[in-house]
Amino acid sequence: MFFKQHISKTCRCCFYHIRDLRRIRRFLSLSVAKTIATALVSSRLEYCNSLLYNTANKDIARLQRVQNCLARVVTRSPRFSSSVPLLKSLHWLPVHYRIIFKICTISYQALASKQPTYLNSMITPARNSRELRSTSSNPLYIPRVKTKAGTRAFSVAAPTLWNSLPVSVKLEGNIVSFRRRLKTYLFNAAYPP
């Protein structure tokens, strides 16, 4: 399962909207430009994120170039300026971390509300025969797979990413507080101080 055609269409559509935004950017404030960028481009990147876990780095890099170009247009920076400080100033996660954010958020919703049932049935808590220190972190069972394509399945990707999160992120609470803790954790991982 390769997503090259889907990624190509997404990039082409996003660059079309970025060119339009560049034409009118000088008439917009930063907050309005961020809102338009999120509505027209970031939402398209967000739509395909949960499907792209563990795909080829060159495909993720193509989507990252779209996000980098969008950050330059929104901040009105030169074409060849470094995108890392721009993404950090806009408080946008890189594409790789957005994929992790999306899958972990869906996992939290499936665990907390048991909905949707088809996703909740794919993730099950790990069962240990004795009490361990790791049981306080609510680990999930990771099924065995033999192929790399199998690691992209939600039933494998969600428990793998969930188990890699620190306990402080997975604390009980509502979805808003979880998303805030998760974004802070991933933001610090993407842009170390």
129 pLDDT above the threshold of 90 = no
Query: Residue 95: its pLDDT value, please?
Result: 93
Tell me the pLDDT band of 1, cut-offs 50, 70 and 90.
Answer: low
Range of lowest pLDDT (16-30, 112-126, 152-166)? 112-126
Q: How many CB atoms lie within 10 A of CB 120?
A: 16
Closest by CA to 160, choosing from 100, 115, 119, 85, is 100
User: 66 and 83 in contact (C-beta within 8 Å)?
Assistant: no
Neighbour-count burial of 92, counting CB atoms closer than 10 A to its CB (0-12 exposed, 13-18 middle, 19+ buried) = buried
Neighbour-count burial of 151, counting CB atoms closer than 10 A to its CB (0-12 exposed, 13-18 middle, 19+ buried) = middle
160 pLDDT above the threshold of 80 = yes
Query: Residue 151: its pLDDT value, please?
Result: 83
Q: Which is more confident, 117 or 64?
A: 64
Q: Which is more confident, 87 or 52?
A: 87
**What value does the mean pLDDT take over residues 16-30?**
96
**What value does the mean pLDDT take over residues 62-77?**
95
**What value does the mean pLDDT take over residues 36-40?**
93
Query: Residue 122: its pLDDT value, please?
Result: 83
140 pLDDT above the threshold of 90 = no
